């Protein structure tokens, strides 16, 4: 039965993308002077695996590029030529071309065939400089006797070399395209001849140093490994006598192969062999773990649907809890216990489902070493790029949206922040600048920092540029406000416009994108010592723990991560200072006090904070106080996007459905605090 290979295209595309990312990571970390053999083998395997998949699915353009790439890598890992920086540059360029070709097949995007040709020629030119491999001693051997159906036409005689073994591989009924794909792949293991049996099934005879497990690993990608029939036909070079084929039992096949390679002479059986059906061993897992058994690929739309359903379950569970809140706990003890168990199970389910969408920040961080390498080369700078917290997890929806803002910040740090080596030496610094990208969890947020040890931000220069570009500024502006000017649309301190920066585009987009994600960005800088760009984001935008508060007849939700404490203040602790607004004294510290009913034009139950409740809120290192009528309670809420369903409302980050079916607005604490700062 012919298998429709197109159904596996997406699997190949996903795996190819992962292999290309792994290849780039390895290339950027490899020691060019003294490369580790394991690193070289791993880089080779990425190209080999992509080529195998591409050949199987008939993507000949990808196969052609990877074939040249693979040959060059094979020569380097075998010591036929040294690894150079030119090789690494060419391999990285080939990675980009392969990515373009894959996207062409996957999404129908445009392919620059001139660039593909240029990279292939570049790889071929590098291959031409390889030292020729020493010629192997060739010994012609008679074709071995085989107790099987006759082969027509006769196979091409094979060459047996010292340290190699000869295998006969009979395929089951297989489509011709798959046969040719297998022939191409098996030829990478050694010398191969192809023929046909009487029933037209394909037969390969392969002379190789590799094991049977390696042969099976390649064949099993296309067909069922259990249907293979492999016979060891090894004829040692040292023995000039005529021998029959040595029979390898299924259980002892890998051991026999290893033994044959270790010993220069093997005693063959005197009688003609009897071929045996063998159960193929599982393909060797070079990574030490079987990834296929521990993970599955699931479309993101299915995960989103599951999260939405869990969100509705959370709302329904809250409704049930509210309905039974007035029941007698003695009379309905069993029912209330069951509902309590339902609440715990719902919470566990929600946390488990949300963790599916969580991805490590390494997904983002892994994109930057290549960019830093190319950008520093273009600008003539030297930078040591360091990452911390790559395992820190963030919601997939946010992690994809944070890539562009971080790219702008990293490019800015290299272009504007870190100085050229001569300037750094003159300033008494190490000529190699340091750029750090870190991520960590802090409360209900993730904090991402881009830190450089460059020149820092020059207050006087920013003010001068801002005035020159028409922004309203003054010399007595606080440092925080001056630094925030770099986020103004069109603002730039660059003297010359380059292809890297200088057009005043980017930093305003950074702040807007981060604000749209419910986060905030702040700057810390010290002239001559460097700058830190600090981004704070919620871990997820789907479900959050909230504190319900009441003002008049309205119920609002405050994200629990921002709530430090709640209190009923003493009238003596309330102050009103001219020019600074209302303040409240909390443990010898005066905090700005916001009246929520004034902010949203609501008729409250209480006008005096001493009669209501004051919440102390904290964002990063800043604190503020919020006056409300009363606390309703703590609950888990499903966040609904207000902007897409209604419109953007200042001070509101979203909405949710309460247990009674009513809609409650979720407060944007960062925006409220900025309004009182």
Most confident of 209-223, 255-269, 576-590: 576-590
As a whole number, mean pLDDT of residues 427-433 equals: 92
3-state secondary structure of 141: coil
Q: 438 pLDDT exceeds 90? A: yes
Give 335's pLDDT tier (boundaries 50, 70, 90): very high
- For residue 101, count other CB atoms closer than 10 A to its CB: 24
Q: What angle do CA 380, 385, 386 make, to 5 degrees?
A: 170
- As beta bridge partners, residue 638 has 543
Give 221's pLDDT tier (boundaries 50, 70, 90): low
Q: What are the CA-CA distances from residue 383 to residues 210, 371, 454 (Å)? A: 42, 12, 10
Percent of the chain with pLDDT over 70: 79
User: Between 316 and 237, where is the model more confident?
Assistant: 316
User: Between 136 and 557, where is the model more confident?
Assistant: 557
Which of 291-295, 401-405, 645-649 has the least mean pLDDT?
Answer: 291-295
CB 566 within 8 A of CB 614: yes
Percent of the chain with pLDDT over 90: 15
Q: How many helices (H) and strands (E) does the chain have?
A: 21, 24
- As beta bridge partners, residue 90 has none
- CA-wise closest residue to 532 among 458, 427, 433, 454: 454
Give residue for tokens 């000017």.
Answer: 485
d(C-alpha 200, C-alpha 64), whole Å: 29
Give residue for tokens 């996207």.
Answer: 103
d(C-alpha 71, C-alpha 51), whole Å: 11
pLDDT number for residue 383: 93
pLDDT number for residue 612: 92
3-state secondary structure of 113: helix
Phi, psi of 650 (to 5 degrees): -60, 135
d(C-alpha 403, C-alpha 448), whole Å: 12
d(C-alpha 663, C-alpha 417), whole Å: 47
Which of 187-201, 291-305, 406-420, 548-562 has the least mean pLDDT?
Answer: 291-305
CB 123 within 8 A of CB 92: no
pLDDT number for residue 350: 80
Cis, peptide link before residue 153, omega less than 30° from 0:
yes
**Phi-psi group of 672: left, alpha or beta (phi > 0 → left; psi -120 to 50 → alpha; rest → beta):** alpha
- CA-wise closest residue to 3 among 201, 169, 171, 174: 174
Give 451's pLDDT tier (boundaries 50, 70, 90): very high
User: Between 13 and 443, where is the model more confident?
Assistant: 13
Give residue for tokens 């192997």.
Answer: 136
- For residue 664, count other CB atoms closer than 10 A to its CB: 21
Residues 6+ apart with CB under 8 A from 265: 236, 238, 239
Q: Tens digit of pLDDT for each residue in 463-497?
A: 888 888 778 778 888 888 888 888 877 676 655 54
289-321 as b/e: b if 16+ CB within 10 A: eeeeeeeeeeeeeeeeeebeebbebbbebbeeb
- CA-wise closest residue to 504 among 485, 527, 531, 481: 485
CB 241 within 8 A of CB 141: no
CB 451 within 8 A of CB 526: no
d(C-alpha 390, C-alpha 366), whole Å: 9
**DSSP string for 14-76:** HHHHHHHHHHHHHHHH--SSS--HHHHHHHHHHHHHHHHHHHHHT-HHHHHHHHHHHHHHHHH
d(C-alpha 90, C-alpha 43), whole Å: 13
344-367 as b/e: b if 16+ CB within 10 A: eebeeebeebbeebebbbbbbbbe
CB 532 within 8 A of CB 456: no
Residues 6+ apart with CB under 8 A from 614: 566, 567, 568, 569, 584, 593, 625, 626, 627, 628
d(C-alpha 640, C-alpha 627), whole Å: 25
DSSP 164: -
Give 319's pLDDT tier (boundaries 50, 70, 90): confident
Measured between alpha carbons, how far apart are the two ends of the chain, in Å? 72
Give 338's pLDDT tier (boundaries 50, 70, 90): very high
> Helix 212-219 to helix 176-186 angle, to the nearest 10 degrees?
150
CB 286 within 8 A of CB 314: no
- For residue 1, count other CB atoms closer than 10 A to its CB: 4
At 389, list the tokens. 């917290």
CB 415 within 8 A of CB 503: no
Q: What are the CA-CA distances from residue 90 to residues 24, 32, 63, 378 (Å)? A: 11, 14, 17, 16
pLDDT number for residue 279: 38
């Amino acid at each position: 039965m012919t298998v429709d290979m197109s159904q596996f295209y997406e699997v190949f595309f996903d795996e190819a993308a992962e292999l290309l990312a792994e290849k780039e990571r390895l290339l950027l970390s490899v020691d060019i002077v003294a490369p580790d053999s394991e690193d070289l083998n791993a880089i080779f395997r990425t190209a080999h695996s992509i080529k195998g998949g591409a050949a199987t699915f008939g993507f000949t353009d990808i196969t052609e590029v990877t074939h040249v790439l693979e040959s060059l890598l094979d020569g380097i890992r075998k010591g036929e030529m040294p690894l150079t920086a030119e090789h690494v540059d060419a391999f990285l360029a080939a990675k980009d071309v392969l990515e373009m070709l894959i996207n062409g097949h996957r999404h129908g995007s445009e392919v620059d065939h001139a660039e593909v040709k240029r990279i292939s020629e570049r790889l071929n030119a590098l291959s031409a400089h390889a030292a020729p491999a020493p010629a192997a001693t060739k010994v012609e051997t008679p074709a071995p006797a085989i107790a099987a159906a006759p082969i027509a036409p006769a196979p091409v005689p094979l060459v047996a070399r010292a340290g190699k073994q000869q295998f006969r591989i009979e395929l089951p009924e297989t489509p011709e395209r798959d046969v040719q794909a297998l022939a191409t792949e098996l030829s990478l293991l050694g010398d191969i001849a192809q023929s046909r049996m009487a029933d037209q099934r394909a037969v390969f005879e392969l002379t190789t140093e590799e094991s049977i497990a390696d042969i099976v690993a390649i064949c099993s990608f296309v067909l069922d490994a259990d249907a293979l029939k492999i016979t060891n036909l090894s004829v040692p070079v040292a023995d000039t006598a005529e021998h029959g084929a040595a029979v390898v039992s299924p259980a002892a096949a890998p051991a026999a192969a290893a033994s044959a390679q270790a010993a220069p002479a093997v005693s063959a059986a005197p009688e003609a062999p009897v071929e045996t059906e063998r159960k193929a061993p599982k393909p060797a897992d070079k990574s030490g773990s079987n990834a296929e058994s521990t993970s599955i690929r699931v479309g993101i739309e299915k995960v989103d649907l599951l999260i939405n359903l869990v969100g509705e379950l959370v709302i329904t569970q809250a409704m049930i809890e509210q309905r039974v809140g007035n029941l007698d706990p003695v009379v309905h003890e069993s029912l209330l216990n069951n509902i309590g168990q339902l609440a715990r199970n719902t919470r566990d389910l929600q946390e488990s489902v949300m963790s599916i969408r969580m991805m490590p920040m390494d997904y983002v961080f892994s994109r930057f070493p290549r960019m830093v390498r190319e950008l520093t080369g273009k600008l003539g700078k030297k930078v040591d790029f360091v990452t911390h917290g790559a395992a820190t997890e963030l919601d997939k929806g946010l992690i994809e949206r944070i890539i562009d803002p971080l790219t702008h910040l990293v490019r800015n740090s290299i272009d504007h922040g870190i100085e050229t080596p001569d300037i750094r030496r003159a300033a008494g610094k190490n000529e190699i600048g340091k750029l750090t990208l870190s991520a960590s969890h802090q409360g209900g947020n993730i904090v991402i920092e881009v830190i450089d040890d460059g020149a820092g931000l020059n207050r006087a220069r920013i003010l001068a540029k801002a005035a020159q570009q028409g922004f309203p500024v003054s010399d007595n502006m606080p440092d925080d406000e001056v630094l925030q000017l770099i986020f103004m649309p069109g603002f730039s301190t660059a003297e010359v416009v380059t292809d890297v920066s200088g057009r005043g585009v980017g930093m305003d987009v950074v702040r807007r994108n981060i604000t749209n994600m419910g986060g905030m960005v702040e700057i810390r800088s010290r002239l001559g010592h460097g700058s830190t760009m600090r981004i704070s984001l919620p871990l997820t935008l789907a479900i959050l723990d909230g504190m319900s508060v009441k003002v008049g007849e309205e119920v609002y939700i405050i994200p629990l991560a921002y709530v430090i404490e709640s209190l009923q203040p003493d009238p003596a602790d309330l102050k009103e200072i001219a020019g600074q607004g209302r303040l409240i004294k909390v443990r010898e510290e005066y905090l700005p006090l916001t009246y929520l009913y004034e902010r949203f034009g609501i008729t409250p139950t209480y006008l005096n904070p001493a009669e209501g409740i004051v919440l102390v809120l904290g964002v990063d290192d800043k604190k503020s106080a919020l006056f409300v009528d009363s606390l309703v309670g703590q609950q888990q809420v499903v966040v609904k996007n207000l902007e897409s369903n209604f419109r953007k409302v200042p001070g509101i980050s979203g909405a949710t459905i309460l247990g009674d079916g009513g809609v409650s607005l979720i407060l944007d604490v960062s925006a409220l605090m900025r309004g009182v700062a």
